[in-house]
Chains A and B, each alone.
Chain A
């Protein structure tokens, strides 16, 4: 018996989840190639003319990205702060902010109009602020513990990276409003910079931060399962492509970037499935859920990658649509 590899039903479950991930990545790749061709064709057809509908589509995509991140933050902070007994009332903040961000993202997703909404803007700005404050709180808490900013506290104390996901949700939402709110027949701009570039750069940075968080926690878990390498290998490549697109030439298709982003999106969703298997493998399995949902791998965390990948895809659409 090889004690380094899981056995029995766990192996089956892992193989199933792994297979689904690979299959999903392959499918998204196939879809990519098709859409890549489609976009290329369209880009050739309408050279230089920004399409307002594309902007709205991209904005709604950003809403979905923001909403996915918000959902991840909502459930993750609910679990983690429940574990902390909400001993500080401020620990409810991310729940409120993420819920609101989720709601306005849903609203934005349904909204096919061209105008930014003040309410959405306010909520997104609030989420971003709450994320910043949360990061500050967590930094403060870690700093005052014995061991300071050593590995031990990075592993087990308030996670420094988690509130940043709320920041990103707010930021992407705010960007979605800017993209939506562009003048007719112009490429959407944010602070005078083409929106695609801003969203692409923000997404790349967000992915790298999330990779750092996943890497830290998977290092804590000693990468005991080879699939734990996925979130620290594929998304960084996606982030690289995304950044290359953001800083590179516009108006052309980037099928590889799309491929990697969609793969990252699949990894995010299947990560939750992997984590569910991890909970089942813990002592007592799901029957001991009151312990294992908290101590086991976090179910709500991985979809943060999905949210960011969606944002990256929106950025790519904007960039492809942007005149050279």
Chain B
């Protein structure tokens, strides 16, 4: 697993690559919470995620809960088939804001 954080027009984009599992999810969780500290708008790019397990999903859920408390925006984008399978099995596909692409996530909200 690797991650990359970039900034596009005031929003932070966290791009995760590889496997988010019990071994790597603590890093993901920490990175997401750190980014939420500094940014009002966070988009997680899941296009290159090959695998995500319940602990990875839990990290996303926690970040989502923190953003709601802070009144920030937290969204997922370009979710890979593998990640989408897990999210839908967990029925979290209706809980998260999911955009088909990072560009769509960054589009002016109306």
Co-complex (A, B): no
